[in-house]
């Protein structure tokens, strides 16, 4: 790519479309001359930032950030959404292939033990897949728990070209006869039902959203008695913006 001197002001101010922004960023990273010019212009942006009126965030924001960052590698419950006709809960730790080797070494070569090893290997492979999903570049939206679910949270991941999913934190089991439902809310305030699931154990879960997420404004989770139809139950958690 040729020098991007003409686009640097637009780039520094964030006024380029995403594709052009990335192209300029890539060029600047590898071009000393354009990099020097961009650095000099950045002083003006720093000045814009320094001139901002002071506003205080809530005291809780710091703890919320640290809590999200410190969320441990989860025991993951892989849930197939209820709309597919079944709910399958499988518990697995994130991949430790040494565990597989140990399991194989200790297993008694009986049919039952071999089945257990096969199940464990399948769970570990699946956990590895889930870990890969979380590590992919994706747009994310954070949902905060409300009322009696305060302290719980969920992060919706929307990887490009892949199914959107939510990873929950500190979400306890749904009461008997009820299930959690993921909702997407558009700019007009319409609530579109996503997946329903019932947590029975474990602290963190991962659930596919079940519907495309493009074009929606917010996301939320409610507690419902039905797996279809309009929203009726209380809000468990919700995002501010989509």
Q: Provide the binding-site residues for other proteins, judged by CB under 8 A.
A: 6, 9-10, 12-17, 28-29, 35, 38-58, 61-62, 64-66, 68-70, 140-142, 187, 217, 239-242
Could you tell me the smallest distance in angstroms from the CB atom of residue 167 to other proteins? Answer: 12
Could you tell me the smallest distance in angstroms from the CB atom of residue 94 to other proteins? Answer: 15
Could you tell me the smallest distance in angstroms from the CB atom of residue 48 to other proteins? Answer: 6
Query: Which residue's CB is nearer to other proteins, number 29 or number 101?
Result: 29
Could you tell me the smallest distance in angstroms from the CB atom of residue 181 to other proteins? Answer: 22
Whole-Å CA distances, 81 to 12, 38, 182, 242? 44, 48, 10, 22
Query: Which residue's CB is nearer to other proteins, number 44 or number 114?
Result: 44
Query: Which residue's CB is nearer to other proteins, number 75 or number 217?
Result: 217
Query: Which residue's CB is nearer to other proteins, number 7 or number 224?
Result: 7
Rounded to whole angstroms, how far apart are CA atoms 128 and 1?
38
Rounded to whole angstroms, how far apart are CA atoms 175 and 37?
60
Strands 76-79 and 204-208: parallel
Neighbours of 149 (CB within 10 A): 20
């Amino acid at each position: 790519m040729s020098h991007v001197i003409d686009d640097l002001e637009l780039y520094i101010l964030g006024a380029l479309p995403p594709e052009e922004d990335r192209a300029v960023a890539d060029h600047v990273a590898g071009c000393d001359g354009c990099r020097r010019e961009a650095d000099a212009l950045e002083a003006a942006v720093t000045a814009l930032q320094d001139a901002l009126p002071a506003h205080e965030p809530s005291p809780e924001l710091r703890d919320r950030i640290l809590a999200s960052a410190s969320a441990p590698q989860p025991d993951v419950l892989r849930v197939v959404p209820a709309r597919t006709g079944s709910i399958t809960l499988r518990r697995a730790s994130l991949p430790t292939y040494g565990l597989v080797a140990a399991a194989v070494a200790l297993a008694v070569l009986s049919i039952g033990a071999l089945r257990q090893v096969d199940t464990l290997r399948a769970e570990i492979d699946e956990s590895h897949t889930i870990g890969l999903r979380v590590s992919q570049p994706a747009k994310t939206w954070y949902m905060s728990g409300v009322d009696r679910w305060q302290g719980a949270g969920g992060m919706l991941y929307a990887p490009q070209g892949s199914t959107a999913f939510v990873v929950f934190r500190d979400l306890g089991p749904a009461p008997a006869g009820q299930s959690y439902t993921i909702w997407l809310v558009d700019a007009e305030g319409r609530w579109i039902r996503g997946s329903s699931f019932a947590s029975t154990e474990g602290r963190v879960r991962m659930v596919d959203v079940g519907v495309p997420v493009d074009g929606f404004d917010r996301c939320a989770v409610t507690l419902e008695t039905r797996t279809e139809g309009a929203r009726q139950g209380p809000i468990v958690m919700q995002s501010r913006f989509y």
